[in-house]
Chains A and B, each alone.
Chain A
Amino acid sequence: MSSATIAPAASVAAATETPAKRPYLGAHALCDALIREGVDVIFGYPGGAVIPLYDVLPSYEPQLRHILVRHEQWAGHAAEGYARATGKVGVCLATSGPGATNFVTAIADAMLDSTPLVAITGQVGLPMIGKDAFQEVDIIGVTLPITKHSFQIERVEDVPRVVAEAFHLARSGRPGPVLIDLPKTTIIAPTTPSKGHTVEMPGYRPTMNGNGGQIKAAAKLIARAQKPVVMAGHGISISGAGAELRALAEKADLPVAFTLHGLGTLPDSHPNAIGFMGMHGHAHVNRAIDECDLLITVGARFDDRATGRVDMFAPNATVIHIDIDPAEIGKNIRVDVPVVGDAKRVLARLVEEVKPADRAEWRGRIESWRIAPPTPNFSADEPGISPFKVIAALRAATSGEAIFTSDVGQHQMWAAQWGSYEAPNRWISSGGAGTMGFGLPAAMGAQVGCPDTEVWAICGDGGVQMSSAELSTIATERIPVKLAIFNNGFLGMVRQWQQLFHGGNYAHTPIGAPDFVKLADAYGIPGLRAERPEEVWAVINQARAIDGPVVVEFRINPEENVYPMVAPGAANSQMIEADPAAAE
């Protein structure tokens, strides 16, 4: 049988030669191109198609660190966490077939949350493609609708160009995931080192500067508005427009509401910051939007979890929509003044155009609706541990300096409501996809990207069991993540919907769990537990004193609900503000 495989003789020879004499291969070209893009870490997992790439990876350490995860999906989310915390492109690497398909959820997650990600997958050799070869999956086809773009590199000389283009695409315009599929034949093909590649993509030119006339029109609307509200989204942190947002809010005295990913784009303590909007947003914020006569949406896409029933969202408002993606304009709602451009540049010009204003009265009105936030004070008299107080305590303990990542569920919404974020990129959560299991690997990636920042993963007992295998990575690589598990014994968010909308039929939502302290111990990580309110502070302080990873379990009230809540299909103005049962 004559098949196209690597001649074993060549690899044996390579192993005995001095490193300097080893041939320069596609694998080297890839690593060098990654380094040119400023990559310092890859989250990955090896396998057949990429063994020759793993063969060269160690020679690039420590400049290019490889972190071996325990499952490719978590490599993807770790790369996302890294990207969201640092603003750089996250990189993950997997083998072909099952390795590649394990990336799918993370790629979809990055697509929905506009996270810059380059996912590299091995592929069977070119002559084998289309033959249903061992571990052959058409990953380009599988990920077509969930990538910003994708490449399969057939010719080794294209490696430098494709890597340069992939990174440019991932990080520029509206960021997103880019997939590079690397056939084994490309990885092992000899080539010559490249000096780099300038990116020329005539089919890709994001609009950066907003139209001047539109910006003037927006400024006019702001001057005329009696009750304007800014809806601040992810685009602000992506473009680094925090300072511009602040200048705009201060000059025109605008109240600023935040989408899930907009949290922290203006410090929560700023007098113009009103808070979190949407399905579990603060009542006063949703009410302000309900009453506003002008909505200035920046870098947000009117997601249904943010708007509730769209035709009843901001019913009295004229809408200005600033976004870098022209396809977002008019996708979900009709816009009066669209501005396509980069949030930072558009806001900078809008700040120049707007007239100074004093809207103390309008802001005062909104503030008068605000309810007192939970205090981080616990007493032995309380029946159990209140989860939002734990969030308040974590927030107080870390003085707002820490990065909080979250998993998906009730704990996520409590962390969004009460985390009081003071800066962008300190709140990293899976928004668009709502991917359970995200919290722990995202924290791992954020911690690797920001080694000097305290990083807490806020997880539920359900979601953490999806990705807890990464405790092994965290232990091996000594990544000092602090994992807080909010254990309510339930898939809490689903249980809440069952309670409110399905007559309390808790079908398959009570969930068992291991002893998390013992689990941590099995990984060689210290584990702590608070079962009573009066123990909360002690374990938080103990956890923070530990120099390294730690697992902290909070046994929270099992049937605590997240309020306010907008029922699915309802308008944001029709919030359920408190526990209907408790109110009786």
Chain B
Amino acid sequence: MTAVTNAPGGTSERTLSVLVDDQPGVLNRVSSLLRRRRFNVDSLNVGASEQPGMSRMTIALRGDPAETEQAVKQLYKLLEVRKVVDLSNERLISRELALIKVSATDETRAQIREIAELFNARIADVAPRSLVVEAVGSVARVDSLLDMLRPYGIKEIARTGRVAVARGVGGEG
């Protein structure tokens, strides 16, 4: 008989899109479940969905297909969870938003602007000694932007973690 074991550190990235009732405690229930069963979560994002009274969570986790299937089934056991879609094997659009506060001086300000432009990022705030860069992109792209900005001195980072939807298919309205 083949054992199914929890192998923490499975590296394959998975994305679950979870439609939940917008009720108090839902986030608590979902995160408690993910922690208790030792699912390896990179990020968890909640916001309003297209359906009134329901929120959409995007859960970015790592694991093999069997673990991901367990996560889906366990999530379905929560009453507030209405629909779970494993986007891992779909063609999906995934983005995260990052706000990055970078140290800036008169000499470096222009260079930072230039880097931001390369990444299609905006400058959201300008202050005498810092800039806030607002970037939207894939997690990998935000990571590279950060690598580029790090030498200037990063004061603060706020990242949303990824949100994702499956790409539209032909004929879909």
Contacts and interface: CB of A to CB of B under 8 A. Distances in A.
Interface of A: 140-141, 144-145, 149, 169, 201-204, 295, 307, 310-315, 317, 319, 325-327, 329-334
Contacts of B82: 202-203
Nearest to A149: B79
In this complex, the interface size class of chain B, counting residues with CB under 8 Å from chain A, is: 20 to 34
Given A145-B36, A330-B66, A203 B1 contact: no
A332 B21 contact: no
Interface stretch (B27-35, B87-95, B110-118, B137-145): B27-35
A144 B1 contact: no
Contacts of A315: 1
Contact of A334 (B4, B73, B79): B4
B84 to A, nearest CB: 11
B79 A144 contact: no
A330 B79 contact: no
B69 interface: yes
28 contacts: A140-B25, A141-B28, A145-B36, A169-B79, A202-B82, A203-B79, A310-B1, A311-B1, A311-B2, A311-B3, A312-B1, A313-B1, A314-B1, A315-B1, A317-B1, A326-B73, A326-B76, A327-B73, A329-B73, A330-B4, A330-B66, A331-B70, A332-B3, A333-B1, A333-B4, A334-B2, A334-B3, A334-B4
B61 to A, nearest CB: 16
A122 to B, nearest CB: 19
Contacts of A334: 1-4
Interface in B1-19: 1-4
B32 A144 contact: yes
Contacts of B1: 295, 307, 310-315, 317, 319, 333-334
B86 interface: no
Contact of A204 (B3, B32, B79): B79
A311 B25 CA distance: 38
Contacts of A149: 79
Nearest to A141: B28
A391 B56 CA distance: 56
Contact of A332 (B4, B77, B79): B4
A310 B3 contact: yes
A304 B6 CA distance: 14
A319 to B, nearest CB: 7
Contacts of B49: none
B37 to A, nearest CB: 9
Contact of B21 (A203, A313, A314): A203
A151 B1 CA distance: 40
Contact of B2 (A141, A203, A333): A333
A331 B4 contact: yes
Contacts of A314: 1
Nearest to A333: B1
Contacts of A329: 73
A334 B66 CA distance: 10
B1 to A, nearest CB: 5
B77 A327 contact: yes
Interface in B45-89: 66, 69-70, 73-74, 76-82
A563 B36 CA distance: 34
A144 B28 CA distance: 8
A295 B4 CA distance: 17
Contact of B79 (A201, A317, A325, A326): A201
Contact of A330 (B25, B32, B69): B69
Task: Tell me which of B1, B66, B76 has the highest count of chain A C-beta atoms within 10 A of its own C-beta.
Answer: B1
Contacts of A332: 3-4
B70 A330 contact: yes
B76 A327 contact: yes
A314 B28 CA distance: 39
Contacts of B36: 145
Given A326-B73, A327-B76, A145 B4 contact: no
Contacts of B4: 330-334
Contacts of A327: 70, 73-74, 76-77
A315 B1 CA distance: 5
B2 A145 contact: no
A87 to B, nearest CB: 22
Task: Tell me which of B73, B78, B82 has the highest count of chain A C-beta atoms within 10 A of its own C-beta.
Answer: B73
A130 B69 CA distance: 37
Task: Tell me which of A203, A313, A325, A333 has the highest count of chain B C-beta atoms within 10 A of its own C-beta.
Answer: A203
A331 B39 CA distance: 13
Task: Tell me which of B2, B36, B81 has the highest count of chain A C-beta atoms within 10 A of its own C-beta.
Answer: B2
Contacts of A201: 79
A312 B32 CA distance: 32
Contacts of B80: 203
Closest 8 CB pairs of A and B: A310-B3, A327-B73, A334-B2, A203-B79, A311-B3, A144-B32, A145-B36, A313-B1
B119 to A, nearest CB: 40
Nearest to A154: B24
Nearest to A144: B32
Task: Tell me which of B25, B32, B77 has the highest count of chain A C-beta atoms within 10 A of its own C-beta.
Answer: B77
Nearest to A176: B77
A387 to B, nearest CB: 33
A533 B79 CA distance: 55
Contacts of B32: 144-145
A325 B76 CA distance: 10
A313 B2 CA distance: 9
A144 B79 CA distance: 13
Contacts of B70: 327, 330-331
Given A314-B1, A334-B1, A334-B2, 17 more contacts: A140-B25, A141-B28, A144-B32, A145-B32, A202-B82, A203-B82, A204-B79, A295-B1, A307-B1, A312-B1, A325-B77, A327-B70, A327-B76, A330-B4, A331-B70, A332-B4, A333-B2
